[in-house]
Structure 1
Amino acid sequence: MPHRRTVTLAAAALLGAVLLSAAPTATAAERTPICRAPNNPALAKQLTRDLRAALAKRSGTVSLALYDDRTRASCVLGEGIRYDSASIVKVLIMEATLRRAEAWGRPLTGWERRNIRPMIHSSDNMAASRLWNDVGQPSLAATLNRAGTTRTSLGPYGYWGLTRTTAADQLRLLGALTNPHSFLKSRSYALKLMGEVRKDQRWGVTAGMPRGLRAHLKNGWLPRATHGWRIHSIGVFTGSGRTYRLAVLSHDNPSMSYGVRTVERVAQAVHRGLNKGRAIARGFTPADEISGRSDGSVPPRAPELPDPYDLVGPDGDAAAFPVVP
């Protein structure tokens, strides 16, 4: 459930703005990714080096979480930082809808299918609102608990795009779609939908992916008065005998195209490290193919609800916030 505030929205916004303006703006280069691979220390070293290079000289605040089921390689960066989710929360809404149907021992209704598909395929916001309201916050919260999330809170006042989350929690939600022992049985259906996201929304974690893999993804792109553009991309990659998950979240981006390029530099480094010698199927998204328009996940009338403790957060120390495969 959303946190109950004991001060007015105006007072909270004023206090948050003052505290945020007093804090230094984090940059991508200020943090070093931490990568581990129990059976391949050379891979961990390379991933760390390549990710550091990918973020060098990039402004903005960036978090990432990676887990490869085959090598058990993992990487974390800025893992404790919470972000407004924008449209990536639609994966949670989908999982909660699927979980409810399974708990009730029935298939999805025609109405549910007619809303889930456009919500994922074309990021339809009306469909997301209908499902968010229909499933309800208790079921959404229960899904977060089942997935093992620890720092995600549902959007207040019905603004689902203001759900706050971390890269690590997004990796856990993706894990619900890849783990055969997951609480979800409809994993193949969910992955199929995420594999059919329309072409102009397939930027981000797909950059640098090799031939022979399939991307199942969801993106979020939202500008607000505080922290500029939120540019997020999460995805599962399957095929050629492997599965891995990647979540890259960012804000403080000066433009959508700038944030997309930062995310894609991270993705390219990950794909290159995990798939040595494989031909690349997709490069960076051309700037003229990036819309520059908000995903509309938060309406302009929504109040600013800055919370510096949420937005700044810990520095992503891996010992404090371990990745849970």
Structure 2
Amino acid sequence: MAPHLRTCRSAVVAAVTAALLAPIPATAAEASTRQSPALCTAVRDRALASRMSHDIREALSDRTGSVSVSVHDTRTGLVCGLANRRRYDAASVAKVLMMEAALRRSQDRRRELTGLERGRIRPMITASDNNAAWRLWNDLGHPYLSRFLRRVGTTATTLGSGGYWGLTRTTAADQLRLLGVLTGARDVLEPGARAYGLRQMADVRRDQRWGVPAGMPRGIRAHLKNGWLPRATHGWRVHSIGAFTGGGRTYRIVVLTHDNPSMAYGVRTVERVAQAVHRGLNKGRAVGQGLTPESEISEVPDGSAPTEGEDGESTA
């Protein structure tokens, strides 16, 4: 090859290499980010919605498994949804549905909760007691629970069969609606009943307070319920739902997951999403609860259904 041709070729190669290695301009990077569908919207704070969409994606960027997220904040109107119509076995988060249905039934009958109802609801929520849940599930019955779901406006939640409330199929969008019953977003329960339900969820015992409270700032109160159940298909289901009050705002976070190799892995996935949401909604505030140490995460299932069974339904 002639010397002048070799010189031209070297110059071209050098120019291409320099272009490939050069940093991407900020405007180009932002344009690339905008190509991904937004997870969040907020009429009153579009910048927050953009940041939250990015931060939730970033929190999940190196996680495996299936994850669904629903978020709503009353102050900014923020709404986030990631695969929030994917269906999961509810595991013990179904106990919130049972509590709300019992509260609505007492309202329908124009009476207070009975001593038996109170004696079942509190341990079922605060300690995830399965005997209490089984008794309340049978007492309410499928017909009443189904009517309650229709009243709330759920679109994809179906009750578990054979007495297994943990095999109730649900979505993150429906769980957000059910949390809205307690925060007053849906006109289903009277204020006293909502306050009672939130109080039970605020009193969940310490070893079950992992999940969506992670990253919560000081001065905010968490009202939560978790579910954790391994099955023959889709591995560990690890779910966490919660309503957060204080500081002049109320917001709800739902994170449902399955295909987790362990409970600890699922808990960490949930908590990374929760951290991103709390940080975005409470910018500059000191964190009151961090990530749950793995040494404090039990791998014992919540007992809401047999662990060896099959799902029998697609979750696409």
CA distance in 1, matches of 2:270, 2:185: 29
Give the TM-score of the pair, scaled to structure 2.
0.86
Matches within 5 A, 1:245-324: 245-300=252-307, 303-308=309-314, 311-312=315-316
Say whether the 8 Å CA contact 2:38–2:50 is kept in structure 1: no
CA distance in 2, matches of 1:181, 1:307: 30
CA distance in 1, matches of 2:288, 2:66: 28
CA distance in 2, matches of 1:96, 1:168: 18
Q: Is 1:116–2:121 an aligned residue pair?
A: yes
* Distance apart, 1:158 and its partner CA: 1.8
Deviations 1:200-221 (A, max 9, x none): 0000000000011000000000
State the secondary structure of the residue aligned to 1:101.
helix
CA distance in 1, matches of 2:111, 2:228: 34
Aligned residue number for residue 99 of structure 2:
94
CA distance in 2, matches of 1:122, 1:40: 38
* Structure 1 ranges of 4+ moved more than 6 A: none
Say whether the 8 Å CA contact 1:33–1:51 is kept in structure 2: no
Say whether the 8 Å CA contact 1:32–1:77 is kept in structure 2: no
Matches within 5 A, 1:197-276: 197-276=204-283
Q: CA RMSD in A?
A: 1.2
Aligned residue number for residue 146 of structure 1:
151
* Distance apart, 1:32 and its partner CA: 6.4
Give the TM-score of the pair, scaled to structure 1.
0.84
CA distance in 2, matches of 1:178, 1:219: 18
Task: Report which stretch shifted further, 47-56 or 139-148.
Answer: 139-148
CA distance in 2, matches of 1:35, 1:251: 22
Say whether the 8 Å CA contact 1:222–1:229 is kept in structure 2: yes
Matched residues, number: 279
Deviations 1:148-196 (A, max 9, x none): 1000000022211000000000000000011166211100000000000
Q: Is 1:34–2:44 an aligned residue pair?
A: no
Deviations 1:62-116 (A, max 9, x none): 0000000111001000112100000000000000111111100110110110110
Say whether the 8 Å CA contact 2:232–2:307 is kept in structure 1: no
Q: Which amino acid aligns with 1:148?
A: G
Say whether the 8 Å CA contact 1:33–1:48 is kept in structure 2: yes
Say whether the 8 Å CA contact 1:43–1:273 is kept in structure 2: yes
Aligned residue number for residue 173 of structure 2:
168
Say whether the 8 Å CA contact 1:32–1:52 is kept in structure 2: no
Aligned residue number for residue 43 of structure 1:
48
Aligned residue number for residue 18 of structure 2:
none
State the secondary structure of the residue aligned to 1:158.
coil
CA distance in 2, matches of 1:32, 1:82: 21
Q: Which amino acid aligns with 1:245?
A: R
Q: Is 1:195–2:185 an aligned residue pair?
A: no
Aligned residue number for residue 10 of structure 1:
none
Say whether the 8 Å CA contact 1:210–1:275 is kept in structure 2: yes
- Structure 2: tracts of 5 or more residues without a match: 1-35
CA distance in 2, matches of 1:181, 1:59: 34
State the secondary structure of the residue aligned to 1:72.
coil
CA distance in 2, matches of 1:136, 1:118: 19
* Distance apart, 1:132 and its partner CA: 0.3
Say whether the 8 Å CA contact 1:33–1:52 is kept in structure 2: no
* Distance apart, 1:254 and its partner CA: 0.3
CA distance in 1, matches of 2:182, 2:151: 12
CA distance in 2, matches of 1:106, 1:214: 29
Aligned residue number for residue 157 of structure 1:
162
- Structure 1: tracts of 5 or more residues without a match: 1-30, 313-325
Higher fraction of helix = 2
State the secondary structure of the residue aligned to 1:238.
strand
- Distance of aligned partners of 1:252 and 1:214 in 2 relative to their CA distance in 1, 3 Å threshold: same
Q: Which amino acid aligns with 2:313?
A: D
